[in-house]
Structure 1
């Protein structure tokens, strides 16, 4: 008797001779589930390609495929709430990573239950998932002296100098540097500029640029008035965000600076906040949807806060502190039957 077979992409799935019926049945169920998962994931990812960056697509597909493999032989379209909760309970990750998995699962099943056509299911098995509380992360700006060192070392490399300046003086992300076009740069009458950049998720924001930064950008704008501001020497194509990030990271490492390209954006957020404490305006400048995100980029030093603490303390203690300070502490009352606690009368 020939081995049982099951159609699959590109041919037949052969069950090995001698396999127990239960094992063969599970193998065939897994093949069917994987084929179903491949189809529905391809449909889902296709609908997201316009909105998501390549890195986001890779991450979400990796997360959803891990989820799908752990739930075999149940296909994704038939997963129950209990299975989702059991998977979530097995994850042993940092809160940020747990949140990322919640976003991946909610996004997928939200699409599956509402937007997928033809409609696959009417319920959302992720409704009971709770996001873990994420501890507030402290800002990680590159040290001011290290930023100045990087700028000095990049003076013979105009492209690197411009990238460092855009990140540290206008707060641009690596993707915004890579995708910056000459037509996105608006030159103002006073010599400063406005950068109409395309950021995460395809959102467009406007970042101010100082006059010195505009002087640095001028040769690039003149050389390519209709294209990308920065292109690869090898083929004239635009840089990718990953390429910008890796190139800056390698440059910093080579000069002995232990920091990343993204920490230059933290440097901008910190420096800007010390000059303008309005976090709502800063959120607009940095392209944040929430001021909570802006706070992650703005390190408030004790030195910068000391003048505000001084004002507060003077208002509260200014009329009494000196009179308290001139008093000499008196001797403690001796213990014994004649002593009594202050503020208590005889009964």
Structure 2
């Protein structure tokens, strides 16, 4: 069935793909879609249909469609001044900036949420109109401290590694904590990348993020456990003589990222650490380096960071630091 052309010139869809139709018919549990009057509903449906072929994952498509619905509903209920925000560049920019203010001051949304809405709106104007990206700056985000393990969690992590009966898994846990490698870097290691002697050792990252090369001295505990794994335990594993990978799975293949992630999560569960990700030991490594008084340039080199600003976040105060500072203020007692 042919569709009409709304007054703003944007086409209405003649039919929606099945998954978009399902999205329209079955909104997410607990959410009631914002109602859209007249031609605004057709504009939204057209955009939702266009999202179906966009190179975005399903959650992003759903989020973009939901955020645009909110923006169109706000336009429909608001006097945005002169011009149509859906057809004029100047009116578009003013409307998007006003909507940003509305999200910030009326709906009390956080900066990250507001920027996510602005991203969806920019995608709409780029994908479904000829106007292009609106001239509306994103909000500055508050600097966030890294998700490092606190002192008690670190102790529990090390104890979980110590009592781990699998020498491969134990070495992996110590490697994450004492070398701060990304999980992809750990599984990419070959045995020759870990030269060890009685007194020292190195972890050589030949192609880290951004293809950066770096060398990390091995902590004594890490060196001891890597030596045990490489020279004693690993030799009995399938394909140990022919597969150069440092970490093998039970089939004699290189341990996958998922396999390594499962191992680290098992250690975290044993340590009683909640909200764990494989990146938290890396954050802990960086935080420990900086807070021990080491030069930030050295920390950046050991972490494999291209920018010092990335490393600088490990100097930011934690919530516990802030609370301690407040608690230390004088009282009249």
TM-score (normalizing by structure 1): 0.55
Going from structure 1 to structure 2, the CA distance change for 1:215 and 1:99 (only over 3 Å counts) comes to: farther
- For residue 269 of structure 1, give the secondary structure of its aligned residue in structure 2: helix
**More deviation in 257-266 or 292-301?**
292-301
Q: Determine whether 1:265 maps to 2:282.
A: yes
Residues 85-234 of structure 1: pairs in structure 2 closer than 5 A: 85=97, 86=99, 89-90=102-103, 92-95=108-111, 97-98=112-113, 101=116, 104=119, 121=130, 123-125=132-134, 127-137=135-145, 140-143=148-151, 144-154=154-164, 156-177=165-186, 179-182=187-190, 185=193, 187=195, 191-199=201-209, 203-210=211-218, 211-212=223-224, 214-215=226-227, 218=230, 223=240, 226=243, 228-230=245-247, 232-233=249-250
Give 5+ residue unaligned stretches, structure 1: 14-21, 46-56, 302-347
Larger Cα-atom Rg: 1
Q: Determine whether 1:70 maps to 2:70.
A: yes
- For residue 223 of structure 1, give the secondary structure of its aligned residue in structure 2: coil
The match for 1:6 among 14, 21, 28 is 14
2:329 aligns with none
1:35 aligns with 49
Going from structure 1 to structure 2, the CA distance change for 1:263 and 1:23 (only over 3 Å counts) comes to: closer
Going from structure 1 to structure 2, the CA distance change for 1:262 and 1:213 (only over 3 Å counts) comes to: same
The answer to whether the 8 A contact 1:207-1:286 is kept is no
Q: C-alpha offsets along residues 130-189 of structure 1, whole Å, 9 cap, x if unaligned?
A: 3234045266334242233122122x1223212211211111123433x42428826378
1:286 aligns with 303
Question: 1:60 deviation in Å?
Answer: 5.3
Q: Aligned partners of 1:224 and 1:72: how far apart in 2?
A: 63
Going from structure 1 to structure 2, the CA distance change for 1:8 and 1:2 (only over 3 Å counts) comes to: closer
- For residue 172 of structure 2, give the secondary structure of its aligned residue in structure 1: helix
1:333 aligns with none
Q: Aligned partners of 2:192 and 2:117: how far apart in 1?
A: 36
Q: Which has the higher strand share?
A: 1
Q: Determine whether 1:251 maps to 2:267.
A: yes
Q: Aligned partners of 1:289 and 1:58: how far apart in 2?
A: 32
Q: Aligned partners of 2:192 and 2:71: how far apart in 1?
A: 47
RMSD: 4.9
The match for 2:93 among 76, 81, 99 is 81
Q: Aligned partners of 2:192 and 2:69: how far apart in 1?
A: 44
Q: Aligned partners of 1:145 and 1:36: how far apart in 2?
A: 51
The answer to whether the 8 A contact 1:173-1:262 is kept is yes
Give 5+ residue unaligned stretches, structure 2: 5-12, 22-35, 76-85, 319-333
The answer to whether the 8 A contact 1:196-1:206 is kept is yes
TM-score (normalizing by structure 2): 0.57
The answer to whether the 8 A contact 2:44-2:69 is kept is no
Q: C-alpha offsets along residues 54-84 of structure 1, whole Å, 9 cap, x if unaligned?
A: xxx677556534434434599xx97933454
Going from structure 1 to structure 2, the CA distance change for 1:81 and 1:256 (only over 3 Å counts) comes to: same
The match for 2:312 among 286, 295, 298 is 295
Q: Aligned partners of 1:72 and 1:224: how far apart in 2?
A: 63
